[in-house]
């Protein structure tokens, strides 16, 4: 049979021929394997045996010291360890966490998968029970005086989850020092979690969002909060144009839904279904802001609505790479929502386009500088006739 590789392992690396295991590779030999071959068995002059890919064996990582024939065990790079709990024999690097476990990684993984439902339930219960201890630990963390109250609440919420999970891991999984490390990690995250004006300005121009504590925030909102200056005052004619375009878009959608219903096809019926359908339509509308436009759902905004303790979230944010196109924020509500009013007024003051789509029940409040789009009758006619 003609070989399918240009150069064999024996031709390219003759020094590895003597390491080819004579009994555990079947009919394969170094002259019948290419330099990109798969896994094979090897044996060093000291008698150590192991399985390794051809590519890995012929490579020259730092631990080999330039010797392609180096053995991990002979060089001390790895040691053979018998895991006391499962009895498996594996090669591990000295001083690593893997070398300290009572079980090998494969057995630990299999045991976790077999007991996953029980372990997850125990971890969840332990994390809930650890709430008091986590709060006590976080009480000792000093926050900077300039730290915004809303951001402090967000940090506390995030940090509590991290610390409670770590306490649960110590109790259920018998992991040591996890809670202490988690507390150090969330403490170290305090200063970096406070965004700077420079970071927010760059994020507003890059893609419209800034990451804080692993969550996406509206960058233009933070830039406005930190500077007090909107990106560019939005004229009434521009707001009216955006409002008119979206209003026409949703009227077309409602007409299409009505035609589908009259044809006997299923259409959105519940409030949740109508909200989801409207949201998807508005996403398509916002994608039309231009090439490279980005559309985000549930992006956080640095506003704590009355009666709430955490920052609010914007239903939809449209961002365009052109600096001439302002961000477009859309809230979708099936009933009057005071929180939406506060968020949209902040959006307006930040110089973006605030649009409020209202359907369902309740009156529709007109807000100065906010494009309110009333689709109550259109949605009702489309979905229930």
> Do residues 10 and 25 both lie within one domain?
yes
Domain housing 319: 236-383
- pLDDT digit string, tens, across residues 162-206: 999 999 999 998 888 999 999 999 999 999 999 999 999 999 999
Q: How confident is the model over 60-83, as a mean pLDDT? A: 93
> Do residues 302 and 358 both lie within one domain?
yes
> Do residues 250 and 377 both lie within one domain?
yes
State the Cα–Cα distance between residues 35 and 4, nearest whole angstrom: 11
> Do residues 220 and 246 both lie within one domain?
no
Number of domains in the chain: 4
> Do residues 167 and 267 both lie within one domain?
no
**CATH number, domain with residue 302:** 3.40.1350
In this prediction, residue 98 carries a pLDDT of 87
- Stated pTM of the model: 0.71
Which pLDDT band, with edges at 50, 70 and 90, does 111 fall under? confident
Q: CB of 361 within 8 A of CB of 244?
A: no
Q: How confident is the model over 101-124, as a mean pLDDT? A: 91
> Is residue 60 in a domain?
yes
Backbone phi and psi for residue 318, each to the nearest 5 degrees, phi listed first: -105, 130
Q: Is the pLDDT of residue 234 over 80?
A: no
Helix, strand, coil % over all residues of the chain, rounded to 5: 50, 15, 35
Which is it for strands 353-358 and 328-333: parallel, antiparallel or unpaired? parallel
Least confident of 10-14, 70-74, 232-236: 232-236
> Is residue 249 in a domain?
yes
Q: CB of 343 within 8 A of CB of 337?
A: no
Which pLDDT band, with edges at 50, 70 and 90, does 2 fall under? low
> Do residues 121 and 30 both lie within one domain?
no
> Do residues 327 and 306 both lie within one domain?
yes
State the Cα–Cα distance between residues 250 and 149, nearest whole angstrom: 38
The chain-wide mean pLDDT, for the chain, equals 93
> Is residue 84 in a domain?
no
> Do residues 219 and 250 both lie within one domain?
no
Q: How confident is the model over 32-53, as a mean pLDDT? A: 93
Distances in Å between the Cα of 148 and the Cα atoms of 154, 191, 298, 306 are: 10, 12, 21, 16
- pLDDT digit string, tens, across residues 125-160: 999 999 999 999 999 999 998 899 999 999 999 999
> Do residues 258 and 311 both lie within one domain?
yes
State the Cα–Cα distance between residues 188 and 369, nearest whole angstrom: 41
């Amino acid at each position: 049979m003609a070989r399918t590789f240009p150069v064999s392992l024996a031709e390219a690396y003759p020094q590895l021929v003597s390491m080819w295991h004579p009994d555990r590779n079947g009919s394969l030999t170094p002259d019948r394997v290419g330099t990109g071959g798969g896994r094979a068995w090897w044996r060093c002059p000291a008698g150590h045996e192991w399985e390794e890919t051809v590519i890995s064996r012929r490579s020259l990582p730092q631990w080999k010291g330039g010797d392609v024939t180096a053995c991990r065990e002979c060089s001390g790079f790895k040691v053979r360890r018998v895991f006391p709990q499962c009895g498996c024999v594996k090669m591990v690097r000295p001083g690593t966490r893997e070398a300290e476990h009572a079980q090998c990684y494969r057995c630990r993984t299999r045991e976790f998968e077999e007991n996953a439902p029980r372990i997850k339930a125990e971890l969840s219960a332990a994390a809930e029970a650890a709430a008091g201890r986590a709060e006590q630990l976080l009480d000792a963390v000093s926050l900077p005086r300039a730290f915004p109250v809303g951001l402090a609440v967000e940090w506390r919420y995030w940090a509590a989850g991290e610390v409670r999970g770590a306490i649960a891991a110590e109790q259920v999984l018998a992991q040591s020092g996890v809670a202490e490390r988690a507390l150090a990690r969330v403490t170290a995250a305090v200063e970096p979690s406070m965004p700077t004006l420079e970071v927010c300005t760059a994020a507003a121009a890059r893609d419209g969002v800034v990451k804080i504590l692993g969550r996406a925030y509206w960058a233009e909102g933070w830039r406005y909060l930190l500077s007090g200056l909107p990106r560019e005052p939005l004229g009434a004619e521009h707001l009216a144009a955006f409002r008119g375009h979206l209003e026409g878009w949703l009227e077309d959608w409602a007409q299409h839904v009505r035609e589908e219903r009259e044809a006997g096809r299923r259409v959105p019926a519940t409030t949740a279904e109508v909200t989801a359908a409207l949201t998807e339509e508005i996403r398509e509308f916002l994608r039309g802001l231009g090439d490279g436009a980005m559309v985000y759902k549930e992006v956080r905004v640095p506003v704590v609505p009355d009666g709430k303790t955490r920052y609010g979230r914007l239903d939809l944010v449209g961002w365009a790479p052109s600096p001439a196109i302002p961000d477009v924020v859309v809230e979708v509500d099936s009933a009057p929502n005071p929180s939406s009013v506060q968020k949209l007024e902040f959006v307006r003051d930040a110089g973006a386009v605030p649009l409020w789509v209202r359907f369902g029940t309740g009156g529709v409040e007109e807000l100065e500088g906010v494009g309110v789009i009333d689709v109550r009758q259109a949605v009702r006619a489309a979905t229930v006739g």
